Structures are given as structure tokens and as C-alpha cells.
Amino acid sequence: MKPLETYTVGMVGLGLMGGAIALALRSEGIIRTPGRILAYDRNPDTLAAAQAEGVIDAGMISPEAMLGHCDLVFLCLTPRGILRFMESQMAAFPAGTLITDIAGTKGSIVAAMEHTLREDLDFIPGHPMAGGELGGFVHARTCRFHGKNYILTPLKRNKPENLAVLKTLIYRMGFRRITETSAQEHDRKIAFTSQLCHVIAAALIDCEADTEITRFGGGSFEDLTRIAMLNAPMWTELFIENRKELLRRIEQFEGSLDRLKSAIAQGAGQELEQRLQRVRERRAAMA
């Protein structure tokens, strides 16, 4: 088997996450000469900057030109972008290419790949649980992987040796914990830990127009709303893509909020204190 460090890796999309992965592959020495990091991005300036900084070996202006060289391809696009890319570029991958993606919802990608992926390709869907408020390649260095979670939702047909290679690479990028699960389970859990949190942060900002309110901030408001500086097109797509699970989670949350509201409205101190105490203990157990 070809040693991982000699792989030619192709990045499709060199935004915040694609850029951060390329940076990690390079700075951690995971890919070394004769291994190469190539990238395709619709913005030629991004490719030029990444090449000038030594993050990638070469920027490619067409995906076909790049894919032909690759052992491993990282699709760093939105879920719909990934589906469109696979549909249009399926023929351009060399036989045996290992493909993975970073999309924040997995259901539609897994369903499509189970049915339409070429038999001689291996696609392992993934989701690095990292990110940042400021998007784009220029902010890739702000996106840290050390200590973070990574989710894989393997297809039934994935080759064990490819799964092993990808997991080695993920750990070497700094991620602390890889969880393998189904796309359905991923989308259910992520609707809570990620999408619901972003909806809540957005709603908090949506209901207060006074930007001077931060004079009254002590840290909690800032912490709860940092993620409200979201990439609007990407999160719109993620929310709508996973809307069934997300709506269920929003409703669960509304139920909990309503119970707290009732206890406050009734001045039910004892009930409220007990509920807050349970919350405190549960959160401590999560830490």
C-alpha cells in the first residue's frame, strides 16, 4: 500500500475548512514530498494566495485537471455543492480514489453515494466538528482541530483499509475523538448540538436592535451569540436540508423554555431551583 505521506491530496473548495485541512496536512507533515497537496477553488486569487504561502503545491483551475492526479480527495463544499460536484465530476476520478467530504448534514450525501457512486471509487462521508465565525481561506488559521470531534458516517461498501487511512490522517491533524455512526444518527444529533444552537444565537440577535446593549454584557450574551456571525448561505442550506430533525429539536427546546417560563411566571422558586440544579448537574456530567 502506498504510504500516506506520499499521497496526492486534492482539495475541492479552499474556504475556511478546506484551507484549514490543507494547512494541517502540510504543517503536521502528514503529506510530504513526493506527496502533494493540490486544490481547486472557483476563486483563482485564493489558489494563488494558498500557493504563495506554501499551503498547497498547486492550484488547479479546473476540477478535471486536478482529480486525475489524486489518491485522496477532500470535498469542502456545502451539501448541495458536494452532490452537484459528484454528479458532474464522477467520471473524472481515477479508479481507486478515496473521497471524503466535510458537510454538516450527511443524510442526502450518504443516500446519493449509496446509489450513484462508481464501483471503483470509495467515498467515506465525514464531518469535522470545527469551524469559526470568520469564513474563507484568509481565516483558515483561526480554525483549530486540536482536541476536537470528528464524525464519520461510513457507507456499507467502504474498504476497511481506506477507513483506517482516513482515521490515521484525522488523528494526525489533531482531532481527539472520531465517532462512527449512521447518517441518520448524525443528522439527529447535529440538529441539536450545532443547528439548534445556531438558530438560537440568531434568534437572540434578531430580537434586539440596540447594538449598544453590549455595554450590559458580562460574557454570557457574547458567548451565546458569537456563532450568530454565521455564513448565511451555508447555514440556510444546512437548516433546510436537515429541517425535519431541526424542527423537532426546536420544538423540544421550546417545550423546555416554556416550562422554565411558567415556573418563573408563577414565582415557583422551589420548582425552578430544583430544575436549575438538575441542569447544572447534567451540564457538569457533559463536561
Residue type, 18: G
- The nearer residue to a second copy, 2 or 278, going by C-beta atoms, is 278
- The nearer residue to a second copy, 53 or 185, going by C-beta atoms, is 185
The least distance separating a second copy from the CB of residue 232, rounded to whole angstroms, comes to 4
* Burial state string for 148-185 with b = 16 or more CB within 10 A and e = fewer than 16: bebbbbbeeebeeebbebbbebbebbbbeebeebebee
Give the distance between the most distant pair of CA atoms in the chain: 70
The least distance separating a second copy from the CB of residue 236, rounded to whole angstroms, comes to 4
- The nearer residue to a second copy, 62 or 274, going by C-beta atoms, is 274
Q: Identify whether 34 is preceded by a cis peptide bond (ω within 30 of 0).
A: yes
Residue type, 218: G
Q: Which three cell numbers stand for residue 93?
A: 476520478
Q: Which of 71, 72, 88 is nearest to 80 (CA)?
A: 88
- The nearer residue to a second copy, 2 or 144, going by C-beta atoms, is 144
The least distance separating a second copy from the CB of residue 245, rounded to whole angstroms, comes to 11
E-strand stretches of the chain: 8-12, 36-40, 58-60, 72-75, 98-101, 122-124, 126-128, 149-152, 177-180
- The nearer residue to a second copy, 10 or 104, going by C-beta atoms, is 104
The least distance separating a second copy from the CB of residue 56, rounded to whole angstroms, comes to 25
Measured from the Cβ of residue 110, the count of other Cβ atoms closer than 10 Å reads 20
- The nearer residue to a second copy, 64 or 273, going by C-beta atoms, is 273
Euclidean distance between CA atoms 140 and 52, whole angstroms: 15
- Sheet with strand 177-180: strands edge to edge: 126-128, 149-152, 177-180
- The nearer residue to a second copy, 32 or 80, going by C-beta atoms, is 80
Find out whether 176 and 146 touch, Cβ atoms under 8 Å: yes
Phi, psi of 38 (to 5 degrees): -110, 160
The least distance separating a second copy from the CB of residue 68, rounded to whole angstroms, comes to 33
The least distance separating a second copy from the CB of residue 249, rounded to whole angstroms, comes to 8
The least distance separating a second copy from the CB of residue 43, rounded to whole angstroms, comes to 20
